[in-house]
Amino acid sequence: MQTDLPAIADEYGVLIDGTERAASSGEVLTVHDPATGKPLTTVASGTEADVNEAVDVAQDGFETWHGYTPARRCEILNDVARAIRDEKDRLARIETLENGKPLSEAVGQVERCARHFEYYGGLADKIEGESIPLDDGHVDYTVREPLGVTGHIVPWNVPAYLFARSVAPALAAGNAAVVKPAEETPIGALELTKLLHENGVPPAAVNVVPGEGVSAGAALSGHPDIGSVTFTGSSATGREVGKAAIENLTEPHLELGGKSPLVVYDDADLDVAVDETIKGIFATNSGQVCSASSRVIVQNEIRDAYLDKLVSAVEGLSIGPGIDDHDVGPLVSATHLDTVAEYLEVGREEVGEPLTGGAVLDREGYYVEPTVFADVPQDARLLQEEVFGPVLTVSTFDDEAEAIRRSNDVDYGLVAGVITTDMGRAHRFARDVDAGQIYVNEWFAGGNETPFGGFKDSGIGRENGTQAVHNYTQLKNVCLNISK
């Protein structure tokens, strides 16, 4: 039973300068509960006029926020982290209602959101330059300065965490922010921003304009007065965002799609291999994660043993509303369910019937069974294209060279993983695979502190860690002639 649900307002607005109001067009979006398909609330659908107002306000917010000492920004961002933890259960329930993911997963993602504000709160007074030795007649040094107003286009799959992943370092560096949340999941961004305002961030320094990508998103990515735009989403949309940004010489930071391999060698612990496969593709947001382990490449000698264990484990997963904390929740929307269903048919045409799963469930909400296709050819669409759902391809390899070749033979390069007890082999895998992050014997290893981003069609730039501050600062060099 879905009980003890958080209070969600009957309607939400754009949030500009701390005031929530209707969109300038008067249009609204309806937010649905993916577990039932029923409406949750309506949210103002902002357009270019609202984005323009938000950017103008944020320029004033930048002057205020940047005027705070770095130590004061540290204090405020840590206060924000504590406030998020205090509200963790409420925010997690909102995320589950908007997105559909299991409640325990949402709780973990809100904790990661808090941790981001804590991490960058600790970094705000440590954004330092360098001195450069020239000669006795000169002193040369660098400083890192904020960009001013930064744009943030946040996706629907991990909304609280990905809100914080870019907004927190931007604020730590002294910038103001304009946020465009996904149409499917705008409530969490609005609630998080209200917490920021309540805990010391000037209202004008963080503004939220919900709306459709073709209007609000396009207006933000192409706005001439923002210093950077951060986008997480599909590679196709990311290209459009990048083009719009570059037209204004605005720096784009793009974390895009993935088709990430998990290579399982014949010396692997099969229980570990199966557990990490399940975590990587089925039990994390129903596979709706760009870094999902969506294709396994298993050594021929252990193919049958691995698949036997995997299918048994997959068939033991519970499917149902995320608010009841099932292993696998619904997909985010009816539209996305249709997309995944189309890929299931593509898989049947290319490979045949899956070993398990493959059905769209006949019930209210947007549910598809966790699905495993075996012996998938390297050139199959199902293996090459990002499905973004609980659909796994399994293929095989004979030797190390083939494992590397198959791992690299896609357009994406976000993450990759390997299960092996041979650390020499693991290091060679890390050296030779074209991906921005490598996992060894554990999927989703690392954390907020570890740089994350992709090669090839998986994007430009890095999020997380100290590296992310570079996204939201510009480097200035100062050279003084001290001989005169």
Is 349 among the residues known to form the active site? no
Element (H, E) at 275: helix 270-277
Q: How buried is residue 45: exposed, middle or buried, by Cβ count under 10 Å (0-12/13-18/19+)? A: buried
CA atoms within 13 A on the CB side of 263: 29
Beta strands in 39-137 (DSSP E): 39-44, 131-132
If you count them, how many residues does the chain have? 484
Give the distance from CA 223 to its chain's centroid: 23
* Rounded CA separation 282/441 (Å): 18
Beta strands in 55-165 (DSSP E): 131-132, 138-146, 149-153
* Rounded CA separation 124/163 (Å): 18
- The residues, any chain, with a CB within 8 Å of residue 481's CB and separated by 6 or more, are 137, 138
Select which of 98, 255, 276, 386 is catalytic.
Answer: 255
DSSP string, 296-325: EEEEGGGHHHHHHHHHHHHHT--BS-GGGT
208 neighbors 20 (Cβ within 8 angstroms):
no
* Rounded CA separation 407/36 (Å): 38
* Rounded CA separation 303/374 (Å): 10
Which residues carry out catalysis? 255
